[in-house]
């Protein structure tokens, strides 16, 4: 089988596109309709089916999917939403787009996920929604989140961009059983890719209808929803201020083709993580994250946390790992420490666990295209660098 071979430099993650994927994309490129055709509908149906939700709506990115979900749940000016500082900026930016205020809650240092037990004390009459992130693929303790949300009448959004194929208490993330919406990203670094792309899954018909309008400039062509009398068969209505957030049909074809491989991709990521776990157990330089009893982790990331004097040497360790061919990365700088957020008034010290996590964290390469030699290469490069730098 044809595949791109990675040698010497291993990124922390990357896509795996094979000949079958390419064939599926090329077929759509020869069609008359290359955007918003039948592949979009097929991809949405397949997503809903595989993850166990009623509806899926695909977008041109995970960021626009988040924006759509928050919009459809009527997050707006004067609202607050609770979220985590250890995420990609989009989780919180999407609320800022709508004029809402992010309230950052500190993390559980075992997993890097929001500490669900700290959420309640940040709720006030302005709180409308809780947006959690299954960091690295590790599920948040959702029962705690859902119970709080029920008690206060809040919406729950799961930013599951890291967690395709993860399970919480045996159930697939994405089934939307007690969440209003679940978000996926199909960026090439995530579990499956459409180049750029994302999706919202939901069980609510009204949210679904709003999402479809939102990604299409706020326009509907569906007579059932018209506010005014139709002028003729050409008639359409713009009812909300939406955006052009549409995915193309050839991207959806890639998504459909990739989705078939998700189970295999997740299995491979889990095997690599288990192998790392056993090799790194008990080492004196860094800790690995802990999986909770309720978790089945699909490992978008394999984060390690530096210990003791290694923490102070993080810059040098990072450089040395990069130099030895490991495309390590740091996930994440706490969102509220970004200059834009600081100008909004957020201050250093807001979430001490998240800030400590940032000081210590490094993400090692993990992706399904890695073979045994690659995995061994990572392990020996890691031990070599730490032996050299921290003794």
Ligand X SMILES: *Cc1c(COP(=O)(O)O)cnc(C)c1O
Residues of this chain that interact with ligand X (CB under 6 A) are 61-63, 87-88, 90-91, 133, 159, 161-162, 185, 187, 198
Report the C-alpha gap between 94 and 336 in whole angstroms.
14
User: 307-315 contacts: CB < 8 A, separation 24 or more?
Assistant: 307/360, 308/284, 309/390, 310/285, 310/286, 310/386, 310/389, 310/390, 311/359, 311/360, 313/389, 313/390, 314/359, 314/360, 314/362
Least Å distance, CB 65 to ligand X, is 7
Q: Which is nearer to ligand X, 187 or 212 (CB)?
A: 187
**b/e per residue, 360-380, with b = 16+ CB within 10 A?**
bbbbbbbbbbbeeebbebbee
41 within 8 A of 253, measured Cβ to Cβ: no
Least Å distance, CB 91 to ligand X, is 5
Q: How far is CA 143 from CA 163, 179, 215, in A?
A: 17, 10, 31
Please state the φ and ψ torsions of residue 37, each to the nearest 5 degrees.
-100, -150
Least Å distance, CB 62 to ligand X, is 3
Least Å distance, CB 59 to ligand X, is 8
Nearest in space to 356 (alpha carbons), one of 140, 180, 110: 110
Q: Which is nearer to ligand X, 200 or 385 (CB)?
A: 200
Least Å distance, CB 97 to ligand X, is 13
Least Å distance, CB 153 to ligand X, is 25
**b/e per residue, 115-139, with b = 16+ CB within 10 A?**
bbeebeeebeeebbbbbbbbbbbbb
Closest residue (Cβ) to ligand X?
A: 62
Q: Which is nearer to ligand X, 212 or 331 (CB)?
A: 331
Q: Which is nearer to ligand X, 64 or 216 (CB)?
A: 64
Q: Which is nearer to ligand X, 190 or 270 (CB)?
A: 190
Q: How many CB atoms lie within 10 A of CB 270?
A: 18
Q: Which is nearer to ligand X, 162 or 210 (CB)?
A: 162
Q: Which is nearer to ligand X, 90 or 310 (CB)?
A: 90
Residue 302's SS3 state is strand
Least Å distance, CB 303 to ligand X, is 13
């Amino acid at each position: 089988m044809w595949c791109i071979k990675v040698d010497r430099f291993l990124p922390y993650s990357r896509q795996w596109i094979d000949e079958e994927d390419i064939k599926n994309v090329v077929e759509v490129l020869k069609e008359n309709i290359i955007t918003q055709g039948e592949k979009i509908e097929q991809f949405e149906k397949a997503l809903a089916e595989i993850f166990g939700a009623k509806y899926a709506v695909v977008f041109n990115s995970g960021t626009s999917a988040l924006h759509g979900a928050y919009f459809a749940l009527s997050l707006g000016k004067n609202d607050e939403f609770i979220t985590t500082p250890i995420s990609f900026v989009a989780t919180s930016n999407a609320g800022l787009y709508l004029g809402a205020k992010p309230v950052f809650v500190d993390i559980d240092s075992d997993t890097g996920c929001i500490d669900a037990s700290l959420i309640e004390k940040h709720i006030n009459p302005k709180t409308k929604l809780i947006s959690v992130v299954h960091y690295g693929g590790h599920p948040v303790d959702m029962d705690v989140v859902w119970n709080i949300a029920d008690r206060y009448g809040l919406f729950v959004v799961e930013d599951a961009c890291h967690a395709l194929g993860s399970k919480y208490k045996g159930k697939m993330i994405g089934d939307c059983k007690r969440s209003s919406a679940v978000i996926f990203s199909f960026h090439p670094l995530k579990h499956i890719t459409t180049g750029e792309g994302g999706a919202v899954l939901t069980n609510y018909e009204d949210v679904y209808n709003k999402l479809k309008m939102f990604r299409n400039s706020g326009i509907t062509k569906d007579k059932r929803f018209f506010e005014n009398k139709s002028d003729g068969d050409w008639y359409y209505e713009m009812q909300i201020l939406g955006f052009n957030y549409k995915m193309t049909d050839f991207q959806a074809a890639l998504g459909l083709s990739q989705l078939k491989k998700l189970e295999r991709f997740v299995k491979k990521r889990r095997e690599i993580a288990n192998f790392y776990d056993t090799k790194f157990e008990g080492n004196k330089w860094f800790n690995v994250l802990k999986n909770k009893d309720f978790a089945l982790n699909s490992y978008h990331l394999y984060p390690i946390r530096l210990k003791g004097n290694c923490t102070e040497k993080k810059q040098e360790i990072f450089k040395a790992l990069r130099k030895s061919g490991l495309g390590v990365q740091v996930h994440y700088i706490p969102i509220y420490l970004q200059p834009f957020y600081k100008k909004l008034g957020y201050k250093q010290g807001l979430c001490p666990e998240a800030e400590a996590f940032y000081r210590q964290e490094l993400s090692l390469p993990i992706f399904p295209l890695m073979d045994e030699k690659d995995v061994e290469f990572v392990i020996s490069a890691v031990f070599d660098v730490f032996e050299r730098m921290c003794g």
